[in-house]
Homo-oligomer: A and B are copies of this chain.
């Protein structure tokens, strides 16, 4: 068994980013290697100049969902970016930007939050995933 948990993080809303962060932090807390591959709007959310901005929620959240998320933030729930930073400190969490999405969004690695460890292609992603679980979010 390859214990690595790989997350393809395509989505860019704060609720899906939080779900990804919780799955990553949970895997890391269990001592499992975690690999995150940032594509499209998931990558866009890691731009250094707006990582802490409001990235919205999926449409079905609605007004009640928005209120619940805002209340949790006010009550001190960690932001997904901080959850990921903590997971990287405590465990083996590697975050890579998808090279094709970098071109699409005209980004350089210096545009991204420092918690992004590098840029790689889909072949490297598969190679690092081995035969471990792949979770597309």
Interface residues of A (CB under 8 A from B): 1-3, 8, 10-13, 15-16, 19, 22-23, 25-27, 29-30, 32, 39-41, 44, 55-56, 58-61, 65, 68-69, 72, 77, 100, 103-106, 121-123, 125-127, 129, 131-137
Contact = CB atoms under 8 A, between A and B. Distances in A.
Contacts of A15: 10, 40-41
Which residue, A22, A69, A123, has most C-beta atoms of chain B within 10 A?
Answer: A22
B22 A104 contact: no
A35 B53 CA distance: 34
Contact of A11 (B39, B60, B122, B134): B60
Q: How many copies does the complex hold?
A: 3
A2 B125 CA distance: 17
10 contacts: A10-B16, A13-B60, A23-B122, A30-B127, A40-B65, A41-B58, A55-B60, A68-B106, A72-B103, A134-B134
Contacts of A40: 15, 19, 61, 65
Contacts of A27: 126
B19 A126 contact: no
B56 A41 contact: no
